[in-house]
Chain A
Amino acid sequence: MSIRAANRVAVERLMEGEPVLVGCVPAAEALGLTGRVVLHAGPPLAWEHACATMQTAILCAVRYEGWAKDDRAALELVTGGAVSLAPCHHRGAVGPMTGMVTPSMPVFVVENRRHGNRAFATINEGLGRVLRFGANDASVVERLAWLAAEAGPVLDAALRSSGGIDLRAIMSKALSMGDEMHQRNVAASCLLIRALLPHLSRATADRAVLARVAEFLASNDQFFLNLAMAAAKAIADPCLGIDESTMVATMARNGTEFGIRVAGLGARWFTAPVNTPQGLYFPGFGPDDANPDIGDSAIVETVGLGGFAMAASPAVAGFIGHGGLPEAIAATEEMAEICLDEHRHFRIPTLVDRGSPVGIDLRKVVETGITPLINTGMAGKVPGTGQIGAGVVRAPLACFEAALEAFGAKSLANRRAPG
């Protein structure tokens, strides 16, 4: 198959994936996550190379699971190998920012009904002092425990009652309502809650529990982010292994390295040091306080959302310090230069209903030097700070260059091989 034909197959898979939200169950059950394992965002990461924000989150996750009573004991378990680390992506999951997933955490189950594969993401914890931003006090652990004991089971009951919620339909509608599904998920969260409401109302007879879950859902504009990420992973994963395709199928960051995987190169990661986001900071914080780029959330850009769909969300462009509508349109048009197609289902009203750019072509990135633009939250680099703002960040060119070299070596060797 030619590169062009392979890329056609790959980008069609991205556009025609059918992510459906079907449940919310503990990671132990959904991912088969047994033993003392902590999943993290981004490509593989050794403890000693992790940034302080990631390390703090890992220790907090160990305490949350009850494997250690304090950070010192948790540190001994991790450095001694009694707790192992692995990327979320290696277990079918994605996690925003630090991306912590441990066995007892409930995870949403998203099924790609076109290809039969599944992807998983934790419940978004809300804003403020939360584990994904590296906050680690008692309130963080208490909220995680509530999610596992109460919110997860109620959401699971509601989802099973619904028979599954079509996430691509929600994402398509939300794009026309001003979301780009990375830094703005207000519309998508509302649409999801509307779809869930009748089923939630029957999910428990305990009105106090129902009220707590309803308050939690209603208080978080970014609730849908984790679902957009799981949907994107469910859509993108079947692209890995399409021989001869130069399309990028994964982008993820662990706070130290930015990693990509390419459809035609399978599970192999290509990494380069992450950049640090630039944007707008909450009062009292500035550029020197920002942690380097972190999180699996760049999977939404991989499928044509987030920074690639900036034109759909001028409000986000302003919020993250990237100008207004003209700059938002320019950002999407720039991303179109490195993509294979315009999305059939993700349409952008401000571009007269053109599709969002989709299917990042490795060759176009290296040829033009234009690197993917990613919308992102910013974590404080001092452990325990939490979120300090939001902004944009560029993927580093070096990982695309390394992937192109590897792709060239493989593809050209195949052409030279007899038969």
Chain B
Amino acid sequence: MTMIDDLLASQVRIINLGIETFAIELQGLGVPVIHVEWSPPAGGDARKAALLAALADEEEDEA
């Protein structure tokens, strides 16, 4: 039995990222779901996302 078969054989609980209508649809089917609001950085603009990554706070600054 594969992992996916194991997963689907049990009660499925879902974390939905991004598009809320997926979560609403699942809720309507009685599936436990937690929706997390998320969108790709800079609206999906790869160049701006790369610039943001380059300007992100450094890990060593976290402390």
Q: Give residues in A with beta carbon < 8 Å to B.
A: 2-5, 246, 363, 366-369, 401, 404-405, 407-408, 411-412
Contact = CB atoms under 8 A, between A and B. Distances in A.
B55 A246 contact: yes
Given A367-B42, A369-B39, A369-B42, A401 B48 contact: yes
Contacts of B58: 2, 4
Contacts of A412: 54-55
Contacts of B42: 366-367, 369
A342 B33 CA distance: 31
Contact of B41 (A5, A367, A411): A367
Nearest to A409: B51
Contacts of A408: 51, 54-55
B6 interface: no
Nearest to B44: A369
A404 B39 contact: no
B57 interface: yes
A404 B61 contact: no
Interface of B: 39, 41-43, 48, 51-52, 54-58, 61
B51 A405 contact: yes
B52 A4 contact: no
Given A246-B55, A369-B43, A2 B48 contact: no
A38 B55 CA distance: 40
Nearest to B58: A2
Contacts of A369: 39, 42-43
Given A246-B55, A363-B52, A408-B51, 6 more contacts: A2-B57, A363-B56, A366-B42, A367-B42, A404-B48, A411-B55
Contact of A4 (B43, B51, B57): B57
A333 to B, nearest CB: 12
Contacts of A4: 57-58, 61
A287 to B, nearest CB: 27
A3 B41 CA distance: 19
Nearest to A407: B55
B46 to A, nearest CB: 13
A366 B57 contact: no
B48 A366 contact: yes
Contacts of B43: 369
A3 B61 CA distance: 9
